[in-house]
Structure 1
Amino acid sequence: MIEKSEAVDKYIAAQPQDRQNDLNELRDTLIKSLPSGFEETIGYGMPAYVVPHSMFPRGYHCDPKQPLPFVSFANQKNFIALYHMGIYVNTDLLNWFTEQYPLHSKRKLDMGKSCIRFKPAELPIKLLGELLKQMTPKDWILLYEAALERR
């Protein structure tokens, strides 16, 4: 089980009151759904779930002092963003998510490469829980290393 971070508590508490329930629900889904091995922290100013250095000592190639990022979320002005690095690298996972999304939301999917944008109070929590269960830290490390080799 992922241990909750006081820094993430502070991040959520600093957000507008009308967003805190959504952010807490998303955080709880991340904690319950991510396979064991990921750690909760603050990365790049937002709540992040990472592969710790104890599991992947090389760290993030852009800054090896940082653990390997996997998923993070942020409160933005007009939406809540979920950044899922695995969906950016794994085409099968991306295809699964885009096929499943309309079954869980009436809104059009608003997505960048790894960023999925949601209107407040419209988080498809069940689908996000299923997405988060799809990749272990070891799976992510293998995909990450393969992606680096292709560069």
Structure 2
Amino acid sequence: MINKFKPIPGASGYQLSNPSVIDVISVYSLEIYGKTDMATLMSRSNLLTRYLKKLLLDLPSYLEIFHIITPELSGSQLSLYFRNEKMQNVFDRLKDHKITVDARRLDVIRVAPTALYNTFEELRLFVEALGNILENILNVTTIQSR
């Protein structure tokens, strides 16, 4: 082989003899959709989101620090509006617990349970961790205000 690249003109120049790993994984991951259907996924998504909302509303300290701003028909996410610039502190502490949520600066965290792989138990553990974080924040605020 010579050490000079001569591209083939047109779309043929983009052909590869071996697909990239990313391409293969992307196609392979679509196989899971053959094991379910959209109606089942939407039903599970709605159940997960309603369960998450119930757990969040049951937190004893939630009204003091955040409230849910997502409308009733929310898809598969809930947006939590945090009062008094607490969002970044909560977001950082969730990351410390290896919990992935989406931050919308300056004061919103979006929690999005995914029907394909999140479980009800994971949502319970998330809310438990969030509750502990909020309790800690409330205790620190109470001590500082004295």
The alignment's TM-score, normalised by the length of structure 1, stands at 0.41
Structure with greater strand percent: 1
Report the structure number with the largest CA radius of gyration. 2
The alignment's TM-score, normalised by the length of structure 2, stands at 0.42
Structure with greater helix percent: 2
